[in-house]
């Protein structure tokens, strides 16, 4: 459902992960863009519950979203009139964990284990935890020459209606930890900074480190690659706003390349995690490559994710990825930046 409203506010929403747009927001540059256009600047995470829900269905004409690809792809498959204007790729820790007393020497030893898969949420877009776990386990099993027929899938509880509002956010959830600690399952999928903290807190063991795989195809998931999408109404009526937003995002990516400590401080706040969790999840080079692109390789990786989601029931229908792409705003944004930029986009 689209919420009709006059274009008096530029809305922005993001996931609590490393993004150049998130940095641009923290630095105050996105609100400057709205101010320059004579608009208010709103963040869905600070809005009421109805507006905050548009993070999942993109049903707000003046919204720009950078976040997980499961809701973005699901919304597009449901008919949301969005356009894809950028893609980022930031490897964040992805792993299969087992209990403190367990020890696996290779992915092949996942055979016969009970793997925890979060239950379906209220709709496809909000079922991103299930999608993440399924794709994470699919990649891990493939590394061991296995498939889902070689393990026992066990549904574990998940929030049926996850919220993105700041007022309702607590420390990020790692789905399945309780089931793993109780012995109801033998292995779970985790990702990100908070997952690193949870593993250390409970002495959980890494059975498969998906970040260690050379192939990006085996690291494709909800956040890799991560899309920037806009409502078609905004792109058609105020294309200069989209271009300015992307220019600030590119500017923030340039800034991040030389300010690792400051970037980590922002991430610690965004992820509700400590500095150690951020460092463990993202390493010490991620800040150099936050620039969005629409390169063919990233689009190919997103298409792999789209086909996986469609195959496993997370998309209402398939659609042509190329028709979703709007490359002009990002190209124009690059033209707005100084010609002597030290970091290539």
pLDDT confidence of residue 144 = 97
160-204 pLDDT per residue, tens: 998 876 654 544 457 899 999 999 999 999 998 777 788 888 999
Peptide bond into 225 cis (omega under 30): yes
pTM to 2 decimal places: 0.91
Helix (H) / strand (E) element for 281: namely helix 275-282
The pLDDT, as a whole number, for residue 342 is 44
Please report the pLDDT score of residue 170 as a whole number: 46
Helix boundaries (H) for 119-238: 128-143, 177-182, 192-202, 232-237
Identify the pLDDT of residue 271.
67
Segments of the chain with pLDDT less than 70:
1-6, 165-173, 271-277, 279-281, 339-345
Report helix, strand or coil for 93. Answer: coil
Q: Which of 183, 199, 120 is nearest to 157 (CA)?
A: 120
- Is there a contact between 227 and 84 (Cβ–Cβ < 8 Å)? yes
At residue 13, the 3 state secondary structure works out as strand
Q: In whole angstroms, what is the distance from residue 260 CA to residue 265 CA?
A: 9
CA distance 45 to 53: 9
Cα end-to-end distance, the chain, whole Å: 35
**What's the pLDDT score for residue 324?**
98
Strand partners, 228: 66, 86
């Amino acid at each position: 459902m689209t919420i009709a409203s006059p274009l008096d506010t530029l809305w922005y929403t993001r996931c609590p992960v490393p993004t150049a747009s998130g940095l641009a927001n923290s630095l105050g540059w996105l609100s400057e863009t709205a101010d320059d256009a004579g608009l208010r600047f709103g963040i869905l995470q600070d809005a009421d519950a109805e507006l905050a829900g548009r993070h999942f269905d993109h049903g707000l004409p003046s919204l720009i979203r950078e976040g997980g690809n499961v809701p973005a792809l699901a919304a597009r498959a449901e008919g949301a009139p969005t356009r894809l204007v950028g893609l980022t790729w930031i490897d964040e820790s992805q792993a299969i964990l087992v209990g403190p007393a367990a020890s696996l020497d290779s992915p092949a030893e996942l055979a016969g284990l009970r793997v925890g898969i979060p239950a379906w949420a209220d709709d496809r877009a909000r079922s991103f935890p299930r999608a993440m776990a399924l794709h994470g386990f699919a990649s891990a099993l493939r590394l061991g020459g296995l498939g889902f027929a070689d393990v026992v899938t066990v549904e574990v509880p998940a929030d049926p209606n996850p919220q993105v509002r700041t007022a309702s956010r607590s420390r990020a959830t790692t789905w399945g930890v309780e089931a793993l600690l109780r012995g109801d399952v033998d292995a779970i999928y985790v990702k990100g900074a908070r997952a690193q903290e949870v593993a250390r807190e409970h002495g959980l063991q890494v059975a498969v480190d998906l970040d260690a795989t050379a192939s990006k195809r085996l690291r494709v998931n909800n956040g890799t690659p991560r899309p920037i999408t806009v409502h078609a109404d905004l792109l058609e009526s105020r294309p200069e706003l989209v271009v300015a937003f992307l220019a600030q995002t590119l500017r923030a990516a340039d800034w991040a390349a030389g300010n690792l400590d400051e970037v980590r401080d922002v991430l610690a706040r965004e992820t509700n995690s400590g500095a150690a969790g951020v460092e463990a999840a993202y390493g010490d080079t991620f800040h150099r490559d936050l620039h969005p692109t629409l390169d063919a390789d990233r689009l190919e990786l997103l298409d792999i994710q789209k086909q996986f989601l469609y195959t496993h029931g997370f998309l209402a229908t398939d659609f042509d990825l190329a028709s979703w792409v709007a490359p002009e705003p990002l190209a124009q944004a690059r033209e707005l930046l100084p010609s002597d930029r030290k970091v290539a986009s």
